[in-house]
Chains A and B, each alone.
Chain A
Amino acid sequence: MAVLLDSARLVVQAGRGQSQKAVLLRKLAGKVTFGALVLVLMAPTLFIFFWMVSLSLKNQLDNTAYPPVFLPRRFELENYVQVFRQNPFLRYTINSIIVATGSTALSLLFGAPAAYGIAKWKHHRISLLILVARLVPGMSYLIPWFIMVRTFGLSGSHLALILTHTVVGMPVVVWILISFFEDVHPELEEAALVDGCGPFGSFFRIALPLTLPGLAVSGILAFIFSWNNFMFSVVLAGPYTRTLPVAAFNMLSFESVNWGPLAAAALVITLPVLVLTLFVQRYLVAGLGAGGVKG
């Protein structure tokens, strides 16, 4: 009897041991597959950014070698020097900063009160306008703007660019700030009203200070979208108001064989955006579920 029980226990133990092994194996296989999946998802991005850096640090000989030279043999900054020496690249950088800052300021100036009004008084029909703004093809206002810029001689100033970039930035600001303003506790504002603040006072003294992170996030995004904008700038910018993306496009047609400086220019243009993204990525991950933002 005891022997029987013992052998039964042994069988059970053996079975358990095997199943444990199988579970372990399955877990390992799962982990390997998952790792491979992560690798496949990440590989294009990692490679393209690596290749951009690699091209920008190699000389023309290495850049056009076949098979390609992957790791730069030594780090040459010659390409970067060339970008700034051969083009008025500094001028274009300043143009981009002026236009992006101006349109971000305008977007916040008009967008923040709008978001507050929509969040507080539930004007949700107006938020539908944001979708419409996204729907309207840019060409539909580019043609009238183009004619206006020509008739009023605005092509030498940054104003036309700032105003058109605001069309992209303001919906982004409104869209993001609505949820931030909705999170402001109504009791705080009621307290402010009791203390004698009007609706404007409670906006400026309570709601705005409490949504500083939201203002920062939406401002950064508006800045990025203006910085990246190509279509409006290529039509409306004059020779002295050219922004970086337009300058990059012109470089492509003049220096299409000179890969090092092209890659260096690409990196210089997109690096500020990548750095700014690091500041907003946490919000993007947490807050985008509510809807899309890109204009």
Chain B
Amino acid sequence: MTAIGKLKWSNIRALGGLAERHAHLFFVIPPVLVMFALIGFPLIYTLHMSLQDWDVGRLPQFTGLGNYVEAVSMTRFREAVLRTLYYAVLAVVVPTLLGLVGALVFAQQFRGRGVLRTVFILPWMATPVALALIWQMMFHPTLGVLNYLLSLVGLPPSLWVYSGSTVIPTLVMVETWHNTPFVMLIILGGLAALPVDIFEAATVDGAHAIQKFRYVTLPLLWPHIMVAMLLRSIDALKAFDTIYILTEGGPARASETINLYLYLHAFAYYRIGYSSAVVVLFFILLVGASLLLIRLRRSTAWQYY
């Protein structure tokens, strides 16, 4: 009896010691399990569904790679892919350039900097759907304020989101307005971390402002710019809210990016199997784009370090 009691007690103590030594697992495992349940499991399930011929209201039937073959051979899908890339390139490059300018401006000391910087950040946090309502009204072809402002500076009115040729640049403009602060903040953090003595050395060597920017600031900022571009690329490829609210992919599919294409096929046409296959292709595209940017970052880094 006592032996058993002792045994049990030592077992419990051993268990307690085990818990102490592996305490980190208690902190890390539950969140990992939660994330797996919320993201990993649905992802695996998506892979499974992508191999089924399955629309809502019918029973799933195994079709192998049939959905993938169908997607790749669909002109509408291929056009959506190209459109997404076009949109993403613009929606990465423009906010990055403006964000760099913004960071250089807000790194200076000037009166009212704090307040202006706070106001500058607000679009990044503001609810995209709510602001899309305002953009919608501003884009109105005859009564909208934007065309009035254009007429003030003598420019012809634009059809903004109502024409196939201007819809993507217009959506990029809205996305730029929302996301330039994000790029600005990352680059500003990079600027704050720059070593001061390098600039002093450059000044002693007689470098003027543009030379200092070109040969000192920019190379040192490059890693931060690349991080901003990586995260921006992921978000731009996945853009949904503003596009859906303002155009629902129109006019005549001129702004139908992969995410919009997916949304329609999954939740309007209820083609579960097919849209799962498109999701998998979309995921591959996202991973590929990220890896490309990470590689690019590594290959540019050696020149400066």
Residues of chain A whose beta carbon lies under 8 Å from any beta carbon of chain B: 34, 37-38, 41-42, 44-46, 48-49, 51-52, 55, 63-64, 66-68, 110-111, 113-114, 116-118, 120-121, 123, 126, 129, 133-147, 163-164, 166-167, 170, 174, 198-200, 203, 224, 227-228, 230-231, 234-235, 244-245, 248-249, 251-252, 256, 259, 262-263, 265-267, 269-270, 273-274, 276-278, 281, 284-292, 294
- B177 interface residue (CB < 8 Å to A): yes
Q: How far apart are the CA atoms of A93 and B14 in the complex, in Å? A: 52
| B119 touching A269, Cβ below 8 Å | no
Which residues of chain B from 244 to 287 have any CB-CB distance to chain A below 8 Å in the complex?
244-245, 259, 262-263, 266-267, 272, 275-276, 279-280, 282-283, 286-287
| A126 touching B148, Cβ below 8 Å | no
| A68 touching B185, Cβ below 8 Å | no
Closest to A38 in B: B105
| B137 touching A262, Cβ below 8 Å | yes
* Residues on the A chain within 8 Å of B130, using CB: 244-245, 248, 265-267, 269-270
* Residues on the B chain within 8 Å of A256, using CB: 136
**Dominant secondary structure at the A interface:** helix
* Residues on the A chain within 8 Å of B41, using CB: 144
| B34 touching A137, Cβ below 8 Å | no
- Closest chain-A Cβ to B112's Cβ sits at a distance in Å of 9
- Closest chain-B Cβ to A97's Cβ sits at a distance in Å of 14
* Residues on the B chain within 8 Å of A281, using CB: 117-118, 121
| A174 touching B276, Cβ below 8 Å | no
| B192 touching A289, Cβ below 8 Å | yes
Chain B window 21-57, contacts with chain A (Cβ cutoff 8 Å), 1 for yes, 0 for no: 0011111101110110011011101100100000000
Across the interface, A45 reaches (CB within 8 A) one of B45, B108, B120, B227, namely B120
* Residues on the B chain within 8 Å of A198, using CB: 20, 23
* Residues on the A chain within 8 Å of B128, using CB: 228, 230, 245
Chain B window 230-252, contacts with chain A (Cβ cutoff 8 Å), 1 for yes, 0 for no: 01001100101100110000000
| A139 touching B259, Cβ below 8 Å | yes
Q: Which of B62-70, B73-81, B138-146, B195-203 lies at the interface? A: B138-146
Chain B window 150-161, contacts with chain A (Cβ cutoff 8 Å), 1 for yes, 0 for no: 000000000000
- Closest chain-A Cβ to B127's Cβ sits at a distance in Å of 4
**Dominant secondary structure at the B interface:** helix
Across the interface, B241 reaches (CB within 8 A) one of A113, A231, A273, namely A231
| A45 touching B177, Cβ below 8 Å | yes
Q: Given that A51-B134, A292-B227 are contacting pairs, would A120 and B24 also be in contact in the complex, using a CB cutoff of 8 Å?
A: yes
| A110 touching B30, Cβ below 8 Å | yes
* Residues on the A chain within 8 Å of B34, using CB: 110, 166, 170
| B28 touching A126, Cβ below 8 Å | yes
Q: Given that A38-B116, A284-B185 are contacting pairs, would A277 and B122 also be in contact in the complex, using a CB cutoff of 8 Å?
A: yes
Across the interface, B129 reaches (CB within 8 A) one of A113, A123, A269, namely A269
Q: How far apart are the CA atoms of A133 and B279 in the complex, in Å? A: 15
| B129 touching A66, Cβ below 8 Å | no
Across the interface, A291 reaches (CB within 8 A) one of B49, B110, B227, B244, namely B227
- Closest chain-B Cβ to A42's Cβ sits at a distance in Å of 6
